[in-house]
Amino acid sequence: MKRPPIKWELVAKDGEARCGLLHTRRGVIETPVFMPVGTLGTVKGTRFEALESAELDARIILGNTYHLWLRPGAETIAACGGLHRFIGWERALLTDSGGFQVFSLGALRKVCEEGTEFRSHVDGSLRFLSPEVSMQVQAALASDIVMAFDECAPGEASHEVARESMLLTARWAERSRKSFNVLQNEGSTQQEQKAGESESSQQTAGGRGNEQRSSSVLPPAPASCFLSFKSALRAPHSALELSGEQALFGIIQGATHLDLRRESLARTVEIGFEGYALGGLSVGEEKRVMYQVVAETAPLMPVNSPRYLMGVGTPEDLIECVARGLDMFDCVLPTRNGRTGQAFTSRGKLNVKNAQWTRDMRPLDENCACMVCRRHTRAYLRHLYLTGEMLASILLTHHNLFFFLDTMRRVRQAIRSGDFTRFRREFLEGVNSGVA
Amino acid sequence: MKRPPIKWELVAKDGEARCGLLHTRRGVIETPVFMPVGTLGTVKGTRFEALESAELDARIILGNTYHLWLRPGAETIAACGGLHRFIGWERALLTDSGGFQVFSLGALRKVCEEGTEFRSHVDGSLRFLSPEVSMQVQAALASDIVMAFDECAPGEASHEVARESMLLTARWAERSRKSFNVLQNEGSTQQEQKAGESESSQQTAGGRGNEQRSSSVLPPAPASCFLSFKSALRAPHSALELSGEQALFGIIQGATHLDLRRESLARTVEIGFEGYALGGLSVGEEKRVMYQVVAETAPLMPVNSPRYLMGVGTPEDLIECVARGLDMFDCVLPTRNGRTGQAFTSRGKLNVKNAQWTRDMRPLDENCACMVCRRHTRAYLRHLYLTGEMLASILLTHHNLFFFLDTMRRVRQAIRSGDFTRFRREFLEGVNSGVA
């Protein structure tokens, strides 16, 4: 009998804030955790050696299913042995389902019961993404944590629109779970066959959904859009060989409507997942509304599973949502802002372009211990940014990632020592004080 | 009495190939040496930590006077304490004179006896560069090795054109030496005053040119173009405080005409410099012609000074010119080609874009020990390049710099062990065999 693909254990609690350990096949991840985004298989502007260094020590990064599916394609990654081997990263990987990226395409997408039709932003080709396709692609990527395929309603969606979308997400969650379980079983069966075992195990990695696996019949997807993994399976290091060990997270939707969030949560938990995410936040709603949704929903989420807030947010958001009981976060802010000349500091954001830094020999953040702040000045970083030098993005990204990851280290320390309330107050005072 | 700013000593010789040690105030540099180019104060796409790592171990990098003069400006860099402090690099720095960059502007420049008028490629403003301005800017940059201001004739220049240009370079070399010496003396006088010494030293860092210093009167430069360093001198870490320790190299011109090269050499040595460079090569002439100029000129260059071939070249060029007696090289090839998807390997150039690498799990170079080759595949690098990811440039640049720097390590080892002939033959066979 297999051990579960992931396991989360509580280490300390301070109010609603939780400190825990997420055990994965690729190492232990302390939570609350910030996960840098590696859209196309690279955390933009950052070498893996830096991510692994004691300074950053990122234990898990993200890959985007939508982007990787389009380029270089799931078959290529599968043929290269899965995303870890393809990119050269041995720590944990989480892949999203592609649902949010497709939502971001706006008018370019068409949602139906079966899935979502959209045009590729790369070449305009017509594509079709469904729970089954997303699970197949994520199996090929062989990420450690797979996200269910969901539909994301806009932040300002009416109750009616949001409910329809939430129910579709629930039906897709069930299809995701079933499809995932079949793929995991294929993977583990293949592994067992390779290992020369004659006895076929019915045990897969999933949660309650496993029970429904044997009766499931996958709804057909459009033949033209479906991926053929035959070549991938023939490849020497097929990603699917590992896929028996993936974990699947469900996603709670419902926009800003608290009753819908509760209903979505109940339906998602009913299906059963290894972890639970809040989706559809930070998509246009007011910040206080987001905090309220988190405050009302998080305490109802299963206590023994990791709770993941997708795509959020600023350092303040992270701390506010940790305070409301969430464990995992991802956001493009540190990397994207790094490329646009914005540094996150203990006194708020610093715009590196400002003329006032022309001869300023101070580091970005005088309270920061990162390599960039130990070595380089605002004057130099401004010069690099204004002359379009790549090093500006590289250094600002490094500093920003350090700020996010180090803040989470301090958050965990504060929770463990029962000091989170004071930490939170002082941190927020700091970032609101303004850069001088 | 001051010690000389640099000192070169011969360690071993194999044929014309020389292995030596270049002692500078910022560390010892083994020669033959390849110097990565840091145009605007950054070796593009590379962190300084990587340059300092045991893997790359670049002991000296270049800065471009022309580029740094335009952005961020010499006064800004001086106010920040010189180029080392501005960029955060404590190892040696060599700055060129700006002459070659201005030559590259082509029709945008106008050469007269006084200097060169040109339009900035950044904002189109009219600028004037002369030996005196170049020496002032390089004093402000406080580089360890300063290059004389020269005029570069095209590779195909006629004897008449090339001679006129070479004679102008010789006159500018004399003005460079004089101006440099005055600036060095200002710097050292200021230093001595700061140190509370009452005795004024006439000893400066330069070579024979020092003797002429007292009688020199600087020709006036156009007032509108001249730099005011008063503010720099008032700055807390004025670069000029250090400038008493700079070394000045002379540049030998004469295009492809061997008699002019010899005459230029004699005139340059007559003035006296701490090192000698061959300029105006790899500017359109045939490769065999360049090798011939080097072969005929290098053995006539002073034996106890470093010999520097400016702006050259491919790994093959480096080895061929080491074989002809040269010691120092710089070139943008490893960094520029890194950004355009070309890798230098032991079997020649590899174009990372090629479709044949789509699923190729081999490193760029199977004989390479660099971090990129130990970790990443052609398939991944191709994907990064095709999706426009910064990491493609970062990794290819790192690999290319490693290839150049490691080749020079092996060159030095081969010379020391009297094995250079075999090394050279095998290296050239390798790079000509083609990537498979």
How far is it, in rounded angstroms, from Cα B311 to Cα B317? 11
Q: Which of residues 118-137 of B touch A (CB under 8 A)?
A: none
Instruction: Give pLDDT, residue B242.
Output: 37
Check whether the bond before B334 is cis (ω within 30° of 0).
no
Instruction: Say whether pLDDT at B37 is over 60.
Output: yes
Predicted confidence band at A190 (pLDDT cuts at 50, 70, 90)? low
19-38 of A, contacting B, C-beta below 8 A: none
Taking residues A164-192, report their average pLDDT.
89
- Once rounded to an integer, what is the mean pLDDT over residues B54-60? 98
> Catalytic residue at B96?
yes
pLDDT band at B236 (very low <50, low <70, confident <90, very high): very low
- Least CB–CB distance from B390: residue in A44, A87, A395: A44
DSSP state, A57?
A: -
* pLDDT beyond 80 at B281: yes
The pLDDT, as a whole number, for residue B4 is 84
Least trusted range by pLDDT, from A125-139, A179-193, A360-374, B120-134: A179-193
User: Looking at residues B340-347, what average pLDDT do you find?
Assistant: 98
- Do A44 and B87 count as a contact with CB atoms less than 8 A apart? no
Query: What pLDDT is attached to residue B409?
Result: 98
- Which of A144, A330, A365, A406 is catalytic? The answer is A330
**Spatial contact of B315 and B405, defined as CB atoms under 8 Å apart:** no
Residue A191: what pLDDT? Answer: 58
How confident is the prediction for chain B on average, in pLDDT? 89
Q: Check residue B186 and give its pLDDT.
A: 80
Whether omega for the bond prior to residue A207 falls within 30 degrees of 0, making it cis, is no
**Cα–Cα distance measured from residue B94 to residue B312, given in angstroms and rounded to the nearest whole number:** 15
Q: Per-residue confidence at B206, pLDDT binned at 50, 70, 90?
A: very low
- pLDDT tens digits, residue range B392-414? 999 999 999 999 999 999 999 99
Residue by residue, what is the 3-state secondary structure of B131-175? HHHHHHHHHHHCCCEEECCCCCCCCCCCHHHHHHHHHHHHHHHHH
**Chain B partners of A42 at a C-beta cutoff of 8 Å?**
384, 389-391
Strand locations in B25-76 (E) = 27-31, 33-36, 60-63
Using the Cβ of A278 and the Cβ atoms of chain B, whether some distance falls under 8 Å is answered with no
Contact B49 A371 (CB under 8 A): yes
pTM: 0.90
- Top pLDDT among A357 and A191 is at A357
pLDDT band at A317 (very low <50, low <70, confident <90, very high): very high
Check whether the bond before B363 is cis (ω within 30° of 0): no
Q: What percent of chain A has pLDDT over 70?
A: 86
Whole-angstrom distance, CA of residue A336 vs CA of residue A330: 13
Residues in chain B: 436
DSSP conformational letter for A398: H
List pLDDT tens digits, range A194-230. 554 443 333 333 333 333 333 333 334 443 333 433 3
pLDDT of residue B188: 67
DSSP string, B130-142: -HHHHHHHHHHHT
Q: Does B395 touch chain A (CB under 8 A)?
A: yes
Contact A380 B88 (CB under 8 A): yes
Phi, psi (deg, nearest 5) at residue B151: -115, 130
The end-to-end CA distance of chain B, in Å, is 59
Give the per-residue pLDDT at A2.
65
If you average pLDDT over residues B113-136, what whole number do you get? Answer: 95
Q: State mean pLDDT over B225-245.
A: 41
User: Which chain B residues have a beta carbon less than 8 Å from that of A393?
Assistant: 390
pLDDT over 90, % of chain B: 81
